[in-house]
Structure formats: structure tokens, C-alpha cells
Amino acid sequence: MLIFKSLELIKSMKKNSLLFFLIISLFMSCGKKKEPTKALIEDDIVAVRLANVSQANSTETLKASGLVASLEEARLSFKTGGIIEKIYVKEGQNVRKGQLLATLNLTEINAQVQQATESVQKSERDLKRVTNLYRDSVATLEQVQNLTTSLNLVKQSLEIASYNQGYSKIYASANGVIVKKLMNEGELASSGIPVFFMNASGVNDWVIKVGIADKDWTRLHTGDRATVSLDAFPTIIFTALVSNLSQGADQNSGLYQAELKLNTQGKKMATGLFGNAQITPSLVQKHTSIPIDAVVEGNGDEAFVYVIDNGKARKMPIKLVGIDNTTAFVASGLAGITQVITDGSAYLVEGSLVKVVK
């Protein structure tokens, strides 16, 4: 029994000695100072590639949003005021060009026409009688001339009354849809106040009206091409052409309005549908250009690029005009710069050491 205990004690001492040796070795290795190697120095230098700053033509598309409207919108009203006697259509109803939509109570208008007609008849009788007397040297030439003038005046009054009588009815100005009925039977309609709001319903009678900034307005011309996506048709891309450009800015928004005539592809349209448009100007502009890979930290039209200055990276702010798939077009910030850093720019900070690789 004593022998076995002695053997176990010897084994335990060996294990403890081995553990002590490993701990001492670990402390000794941690205390040694390693010399810097060439590999570690190389890690502080960022390998980069350069690209030339050049001039390129920019055909940046313009993005704008707006609402669909009929090319032939109409706000229909009576020429004269009066009580609305009859309305023949309802909201949403399709109408044909020339179709009667509403009439006024014509009692007053008809009386005016009748009064003017009788005045003409009386003036004609008076002029005929005085003309006969003038032939017999009983009436004077002045009397004949005065009655002739009076006849002309009452004839014009009859013409005005007849004209107003004709425009005391509202007819459809084109084939279309009654979008809104603004008044009802029995109401007093004032001259020129809309009673109906209607849209033409032809397949190609639709536009999308968008607002654009003044700097974009100068780039557009009628006939420029565009693509339009409508929320009502999320899977369809419509083509369009710039059909009209306003010559003045909207007083509320400060934007200029552009009308894009839609190719509806036979789809049913309605006033007020929301859409986004991308317009490609035909006017080509030349701008300073760099690869888009060179641009870092972009925010709107503001961004940064890196250039090499005495072997170090220097961060420069730039202002962008626009971008496409591969190129960034620069408005300012690269004066006197011929090359910018592309590959490796993501790993740089101001003052980083760099080396150029092919």
C-alpha cells in the first residue's frame, strides 16, 4: 500500500512540473519584442487604380410625376344666365359630339327675340313710308337716313337676341364622358359659370401633366420621347411624347408644366390617374465625366472622389449633374484634375498612403 501511494505522488509531481514549465514558457514568449516585417509595412499602403477625367455627352433622363388628363377637357356653360329647365345627362355618361346636354327656361330669352323681331318689322315699315314721302318731296333725306340707321340697329339687336337664344342650350363639344355635373335643374346659372366638366374619350386623347424645374425645362422640346408608369397599370410601361411646354411657371409650385401625350395601348383611362414619367431630352449636353466607381459618399447631387497628391489620397467634394449605368457627370469640383481613384477608393481615408497598380 505504501508503494502505491509513493508512485501516485511521483506522478502528481511530474504533472505539476510540466504545467509550471508551460506557464513559464508562455510568459517568456509574450515578453519577446517582435521586429516589424516588411509585410506589415506593406499593409499600410492601399493599392488603387486610376481613371482619366474626360468629357462626355450627357443624355440624362428627367424624372417627374403628375396626373393623367384628357387632351380635350371642356368646362361647358351657358352663354346667358337663367334658370336651368332640363338636364339630359348624368355623371359618367358617354356623350356624342353635338348631343344636347341641358337647356335654360327660354321664356325670357324668347321674349327678347320676339321683341327684337317686332322692332325690326316696325322699323322696316317706317323706313318704307318715309322713303315714299321722300320721293314725293314731303320727307327729307335726313329722315330717311335716320330711319335707315334705326333699322340697322334693331336688326343687330335681333341678331344678338337670336345668338343668345341659341347658346341658352349646352351641346357636347366632342365625343366624351361627363366627368362632373356641377349644377342641377331649377338652379340659377350665371353666364359663363360651368355646368358640366367633360373629357374627350378618344383612345389617343390622353396626356399626363407633369411639373419640371426651370433648368430641366430648357432641355426639353416638343417631340422628346418619354416612358410612363401608371399606378393603375403597374405591369405596363406606356410610351409618350412631349406635346406641349408651358411658357410660364405655376405661381403656387414654381414649376413649369409639360404635357406628355400618352400612347394608351387601348387601355381605359380616366382623369386623375397618377403616374411617373422618365423623359429623354433630345438636347445633348457635354459634361466632365468620371467612372461611377470613383464616386464615394453620394448624397443627392453632392459626392466625393479621391485623387492622389504626393503619394497620398486626398478627398475632394464634387457636384453631380447626373449619372447613368457606368458614368457620373460632374458639374464642378474637378478643375485641374486629370485622374481620379476608382478601384480601392472604398478603403481610403484622407491621407492614406497609396500605390498605383495596373
Domains belonging to the chain, first-starting first, are: 48-58+285-356 (2.40.420.20), 64-72+202-280 (2.40.30.170), 107-167 (1.10.287.470)
For residue 24, pLDDT over 70 is answered with no
pLDDT score for 270: 81
Q: What is the pLDDT of residues 103-147, one digit of tens each?
A: 999 888 889 899 999 999 999 999 999 998 888 888 889 988 999
11-to-6, 22, 63 alpha-carbon distances in Å: 9, 17, 84
Closest listed residue to residue 320, CA positions, set 303, 341, 305, 334: 303
Closest listed residue to residue 255, CA positions, set 82, 66, 102: 66
For residue 284, pLDDT over 60 is answered with yes
163-to-112, 122, 307 alpha-carbon distances in Å: 11, 21, 78
Question: Residue 132 and residue 125: Cα distance in Å, rounded?
Answer: 11
Query: Average of pLDDT values for 159-180?
Result: 87
Averaged pLDDT of the chain:
82
Q: How confident is the model at residue 175 (pLDDT cuts 50, 70, 90)?
A: confident
Which pTM does this prediction carry? 0.51
Question: Residue 73 and residue 173: Cα distance in Å, rounded?
Answer: 10
For residue 348, what are the β-bridge partners? none
Identify the weakest region by mean pLDDT among 5-9, 42-46, 197-201. 5-9
pLDDT score for 15: 44
